[in-house]
């Protein structure tokens, strides 16, 4: 009797490694959605600091402003610097979408320098305040809020630096500008948050 032939099932080599690609049902790009979700978490972090600020100022009735007062004019100047950097960042994004290499380079460098200027003014303000975080609870929450924002500016500058490297290497253009758009969104968040911090801490 003829032996029954056994056909081995075809084996297809699977070259894919790792988990399957996530299904993207939203019209928002996954990178953009990621940074937006991250910003929401950052808003909650700032919210905790603002809650401490209002508790110390309203409930405990601690002296505000701490020390002999806050340099409102200096903080307003810093607000203008950071708002200007938001404009230049927007210009950089538009230049990327239009393929304007010179516009991207000038825009990202200007934005970076304006961010550095903001940090320089902020540190100089700290040195001349006349009080430290140990002075009072109000002083602690002042340094906590402004310092938290300053830390976000530093992170934003690192992102801008990495974007600048990619721009000067010619890796950013109309077909691949998402790597620039995401740091831009974060930078706009940092700028907007300073307006909230400035209004709450220095004006109210």
pLDDT tens-digit map of 19-62:
655 555 456 677 788 888 889 999 999 999 999 888 888 887 77
Q: Which domain holds residue 131?
A: 30-203
| The pLDDT of residue 11 is above 80 | no
**What is the number of structural domains in the chain?**
1
Give Cα 166 distance to the centre of its chain. 18
Q: How many Cα atoms sit within 13 Å of 153 on the Cβ side?
A: 30
What is the CATH number for 44? 1.20.120.80
- Band (1; pLDDT cuts 50, 70, 90): very low
What is the spatial distance between Cα 152 and Cα 174, in angstroms, rounded to a whole number?
Answer: 28
* Mean predicted confidence (pLDDT) in 169-188: 86
Residue 69 lies in a domain: yes
Neighbours of 87 (CB within 10 A): 14
- Residue 65, CB-side half-sphere exposure with 13 Å CA sphere: 17
pTM score above 0.85: no
Residue 6 maps to a domain: no
Rounded Cα distance, 203 and 133, in Å: 20
């Amino acid at each position: 009797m003829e032996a029954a032939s056994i056909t081995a099932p075809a084996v297809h080599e699977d070259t894919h490694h790792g988990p399957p690609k996530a299904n993207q049902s939203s019209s928002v790009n996954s990178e953009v959605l990621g940074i937006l979700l991250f910003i929401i978490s950052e808003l909650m972090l700032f919210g905790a600091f603002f809650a401490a600020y209002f508790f110390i100022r309203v409930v405990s009735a601690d002296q505000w402003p701490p020390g002999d007062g806050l340099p409102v004019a200096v903080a307003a100047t810093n607000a203008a610097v950071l708002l200007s950097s938001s404009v230049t960042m927007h210009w950089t994004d538009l230049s990327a979408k239009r393929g304007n290499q010179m516009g991207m380079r000038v825009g990202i460098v200007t934005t970076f320098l304006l961010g550095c200027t903001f940090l320089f003014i902020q540190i100089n303000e700290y040195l001349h305040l006349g009080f430290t975080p140990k002075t009072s609870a109000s002083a602690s929450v002042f340094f906590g809020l402004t310092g938290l924002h300053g830390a976000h500016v530093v992170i934003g500058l690192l992102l801008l630096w990495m974007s600048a490297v990619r721009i000067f290497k010619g890796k950013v253009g109309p077909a691949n500008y998402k790597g620039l758009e995401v740091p831009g969104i974060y930078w706009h968040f940092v700028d907007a948050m300073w307006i909230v911090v400035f209004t709450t801490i220095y004006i109210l």
